[in-house]
Amino acid sequence: MAIPDSRETIIDYALRTLGHPVITINVDYQQCEDRLDEALEFFVERHFDGVEKAFFRYQLTAEDIENKYIDVSNIGPVNGPGGDGPNGNDIVTVVKIFQFGNFANVDMFDLKYQLALVDYFGVNTSVGNGHSMGLASYDSTKRYIKLIEDFFQPEKALNFSKVTGRIKIDGDMSVMQPGDYIIIQAYASLDPEQYTKIYNDRLLKKYLVALIKRQWGANMAKYDGVQLPGGITMKGSQIYQEAMTEIAQIENELIQSHELPIDFYVG
């Protein structure tokens, strides 16, 4: 069996599964392309192998601060300018934003300040009277720092919509300056043309077969009851109903067994 590794090969696989070329599958190739796009869209939304966690580095502009949102089309690839990794247009959902300021900035919880504190309250470093509690002291200090940070500089709430392509930051953005860097934690869709193993996913193949079968049934439903030479009767609506049942079962399996778990907010 040829392993599907492109749009053409997975469509050919689906048509062969339905009986081609032994029987005629009354579906136009463009319709097969449309059903594949539909299958890939659902795969990205519901299957953990359709996305990956990514951290995007982005430099704020004066326009971003004034608008209070970031246009994802301006976000470059995760592996730097010119890289082949996911970019802002591939973002499916945004989890949170990390802000890193300068050491001399009013933001006392930037990355350099945190590193300085970690060094000062090191695991094996004695403080004050020369007594060190090792990991217990280090852990309690880190928890205290995090408590102060959450109190004086709570995490910024955000909203993201794939339709608008904008990451809206709720809160006072005047503390941010043009040129500041932020890190955007998000989930980005994977390009099947780059990661061709997606085309050989078991559920994606089954789902595409069911979608093309539904299209086949829809195309033939208008000829229901028509008798062909040899006594064969057209039953397009039956093919359609069988496909709808299969689609429901596959979608339920994807959601129940292959969807990423929901992130819960506690507070």
pLDDT of residue 125: 53
Q: Residue 14 belongs to what H/E stretch?
A: helix 7-17
Give, in order, the Cα–Cα distances in Å from 13 to each of 17, 135, 148, 155.
Answer: 6, 57, 58, 48
Give the pLDDT of residue 34. Answer: 98
* Cα atoms found within 13 Å of the Cα of residue 236, Cβ hemisphere only: 17
DSSP state of 160: E
From 147, 155, 143, select the one nearest 96 (Cα to Cα).
Answer: 155
CB 204 within 8 A of CB 104: no
Query: What is the widest separation between alpha-carbon atoms in the chain?
Result: 100
pLDDT tens-digit map of 214-248 = 999 999 988 877 777 776 777 889 999 999 999 99
Q: How many CB atoms lie within 10 A of CB 77?
A: 17
Q: Where are the beta strands (DSSP E) in the chain?
A: 51-59, 69-71, 91-100, 157-161, 166-170, 181-189
> What six digits make up the tokens of 107?
């933001």
Closest CA to 19 of 213, 149, 156, 208: 213
Radius of gyration from C-alpha coordinates of the chain: 27
Contact (Cβ atoms closer than 8 angstroms) between residue 200 and residue 90:
no
In 14-68 the beta strands, taken as DSSP E runs, fall at 51-59
Q: Over the stretch 164-179, which tens digit does the pLDDT of each residue have?
A: 999 998 877 777 889 9
pLDDT digits (tens, 9 = 90+) for 79-118: 877 788 899 999 999 998 886 544 334 455 555 455 555 5
| pLDDT for position 132 | 54
Q: Which of 209, 206, 213 is nearest to 250 (CA)?
A: 206
- pTM score, whole prediction: 0.76
Which helix H or strand E contains 177, and what residues bound it? none
Sole residue written with tokens 């040829």: 2
Label the pairing between strands 51-59 and 69-71.
unpaired
